[in-house]
Structure 1
């Protein structure tokens, strides 16, 4: 990513330093596309921006810049970073929506048994579950319906990950309820899910099934 973008960005910022112009619409869109590509490839946003900003000093002309030219260059760098971040976040939102849809489809297959068992087991591994062992399902509901994009399920999921790490746990939503699936020999995971869900909801119900 860095090697692909460095020559173009160096030339771009050098031109800005000389002319004082702003980035064009096409240049901004290319920065957004770069941010999206970085997110899809798993590059951290901090690393992406850090690599990007290293070319700013290289664009500085040998002669001293005026205050106006310095501000123009810094403004262009800010434009570029904003576009990179916007593209990165756009790709992340799309990934979250896609993952949420895949989770819901998997939960339907798992709970209703409508898919081939081999395919279900294969997909389960992608979500960190091993169907060769017993699992337990917990469900929580509140005064309103929830989706994966809502703050309450996200808060509960962060609490689970913060305490238990990966540990083969899947949290999603189904029919407006939060659903958590965990190995049957780890009741403390679902107990923590129920506690966190009840605290985040404020009022509602939580139930834990049997392995």
Structure 2
């Protein structure tokens, strides 16, 4: 008990719980200096490293160059394709122009042929009409009654006759006994006129055509 009392009475035996202002200030200044030194060293260490010299940066740079090269290749292929397309389009346009010109020429030719067909048809009709008229107005070998078998008028041989050609104009109903006119031309293209009430006889004279 005496020892406890002795400790309570001695001020140097129990440490003081309070720091002096000077000690506190010194402690704060030291801490700040230490922290600043550490931070400064850290910043200096960071500033001294160039990120462009890192392996990661170099790898990215290499990859970018490869991609750029691939992009250039693709662009070159695209340019070639566009050039080929332009060439083909030009060829198609030229071929289309040629086909249009041929189509126009065919249309014109078709019109010409259509015109020619019309002309041919018209000529055929005209020739056919002439042939029909000639057939209706032609007389072959035989005896024909004017007004019944043939038309009245003047007839001429279609071709020159031979020396054995004989023709005669007879009075109708006389059975050839009443001869109005006759002839043996012996050549050339003889002409004979007949009228109603008469018969016309032709022997070896070929075809007679009404004039």
Give the TM-score range, shorter chain. under 0.3
TM-score by length of 2: 0.26
Give the strand-richer structure, 1 or 2: 2
Larger Rg: 2
Give the helix-richer structure, 1 or 2: 1
TM-score by length of 1: 0.26
